[in-house]
Every structure is written in structure tokens, then in C-alpha cells.
Amino acid sequence: MPKRGKKYLESRKKVVNKTRHHFAEAVERAIDSSYTKFDESIDIAIRLGVDPRHADQMVRGTVVLPNGLGKKIKVLVFAKGEKEQEALDAGADFVGSDDLIEKIKGGWFNFDKAVATPDMMGSVGKIGRLLGPRGLMPNAKTGTVTFDVARAVDELKAGKIDFRVEKAGIIHAPMGRVSFGAEKIVQNLVALLETIIRLKPASSKGAYLRDIVISTTMGPGVKIDTASVKDLSK
């Protein structure tokens, strides 16, 4: 077991490990346990009752968090012609085509999200091995391969995130910053949970929401009572 620092141990005293809290209370406890001098990120981990090895139990989607993520998102758009200007007007940070592809080949990755028009995917696919491992590859399933580049840029700037269940059946997602306060974090959390509940596979049997834990970047995890979120599906 790794040795924990004094501040972490003091923070952990505020959290009862085996106790599951209503999601609103859990958010408050997570924020209260923050002890760092920087504005920590608040993250959620959700274990689902699915087996991602089966295609019909893959849970993947996107959601625009109502209060964003608390940081400026740098958006790159691969586009040509009039779509370049559309992307710039929407607030994209970087817009181009082959010039950006060459720049990325050279090791440049100074952006957080990427969007591409469908006609650019043939060229973008050539750098897929560079973008994919970093989670930067445009994908039609997440709305980042589209001719409606203005909408895609707007949503990403507003705090749109994409999520996907991992091999262990867990979804990890950022929910904002400690400085947001509990109310805004709860609103973001509800938006994510509503989306995940809506995406429940028909083939998923038994409990769908198995475990939910929320934590700050450096703080201890706070368990959420899954029963407290069931009404969100109604």
C-alpha cells in the first residue's frame, strides 16, 4: 500500500468509507475533503452491470454538461473551403487541413478536442495512430465528424464530454472544479447520470448502476447510494 500524506489522511477522516450517500450529499463531502491549494478537478467513476466484451452491452455516449468543465477547451477543426470560416466564426482555436496534419505528424498536440468534416476523414485517418491513443480522433458517434462544424465547436466549448465504458465495466468522467460549488457539480452529475441511464442496454440484466464514487483530484473517494439516482430515469 502506498504511504499517504498527512493532509490526505486528515481529509479522509471526513469520509466514512463504507457509507453511501445521496448524490447531493456525496458531492458536498467530496468538495469539503479538498485540501490542495489548486482548484482540483472533480471526477466520477461509475461501475455498470454490463459486459463490454459484448457489442450489445457497450455503453458509449456524449453529454453537454450544463456548467462546463471549468477550463478553456482548445478545439481544432479539420476542414476546407467555407467550412473553415464557419469553424473560425464559431470560435475554433485552430482550423486547417493538410497543414495541421503535417504539424501533428511533427509532434504538435496543443489542443483538447478535434472536429473534422466527413470529406477530411480520409486524410485525418492517416494520423489516427497519433490521435487515437490521446483521445483526439474525431468520431461520428460522438458528433465530431460532421459538416455542422459550428454546432460541434459550440458544444465542445460549452463543456461537451464523451464517455465510454472500459473493459472493467467502469465509466470515468470529469464533472468540473471544486470552485464550482456543490450545486453546479450536482447539475453536471445529474446530466451525466440521466444520459447513462437512458443508454442502458436491453441485454443488461440485474442492477445497472452497481457502484458510483466521486472524488477530487487528490482527495478520497465518496460513495454514492445508487438508489438515490434511480428516480432520474423517470
In angstroms, rounded to a whole number, what is the distance separating the alpha carbons of residues 223 and 232? 18
Is residue 79 domain-shared with residue 153, that is, in the same domain? yes
Is residue 139 domain-shared with residue 178, that is, in the same domain? no
Residue that terminates a domain, selected from 157, 173, 193: 157
Maximum Cα–Cα distance across the chain: 58
pLDDT level of residue 13 (50, 70, 90 thresholds)? low
pLDDT level of residue 147 (50, 70, 90 thresholds)? very high
Residue that terminates a domain, selected from 135, 157, 179: 157
Is residue 150 domain-shared with residue 100, that is, in the same domain? yes
Is residue 209 situated within a structural domain? yes
Is residue 1 situated within a structural domain? no
In angstroms, rounded to a whole number, what is the distance separating the alpha carbons of residues 43 and 38? 15
Look at residue 64 in the predicted model and tell me its pLDDT.
Answer: 92
- Give buried/exposed letters for 24-39 (b at 16+ CB in 10 A, else e): ebbbbbbbbbbbeeee
Residue that terminates a domain, selected from 98, 129, 157: 157
The total number of structural domains that make up the chain: 2
Domain limits at 152?
75-157
Higher-confidence residue: 20 or 94? 94
Is residue 108 domain-shared with residue 79, that is, in the same domain? yes
Is residue 167 domain-shared with residue 198, that is, in the same domain? yes
Q: What phi and psi, each to the nearest 5 degrees, are found at residue 62?
A: -135, 155
Is residue 90 situated within a structural domain? yes
- Over residues 52-64, the mean pLDDT reads 92
Is residue 59 domain-shared with residue 82, that is, in the same domain? no
Is residue 63 domain-shared with residue 105, that is, in the same domain? no
Where residue 185 falls (left for φ over 0; alpha for ψ -120 to 50; beta otherwise) is: alpha
214 bridge partner residues: 44, 222
Is residue 96 domain-shared with residue 61, that is, in the same domain? no
- Taking CA atoms, 81 is separated from 50, 67, 87, 232, in Å, by 44, 33, 11, 44
Q: How does pLDDT run across 150-168, given as a tens digit for each residue?
A: 999 999 999 899 999 998 9
Is residue 80 situated within a structural domain? yes
Look at residue 87 in the predicted model and tell me its pLDDT.
Answer: 96
Is residue 132 domain-shared with residue 21, that is, in the same domain? no
Q: Taking the model in full, what pTM does it have?
A: 0.80
Over 80: is that where the pLDDT of 11 sits?
A: no
What are the residues whose beta carbons fall under 8 Å from the beta carbon of 121, sequence distance 6 or more?
Answer: 138, 145
Is residue 195 domain-shared with residue 153, that is, in the same domain? no
Is residue 181 situated within a structural domain? yes
Q: Half-sphere exposure (CA, 13 Å, Cβ side) for 90?
A: 25
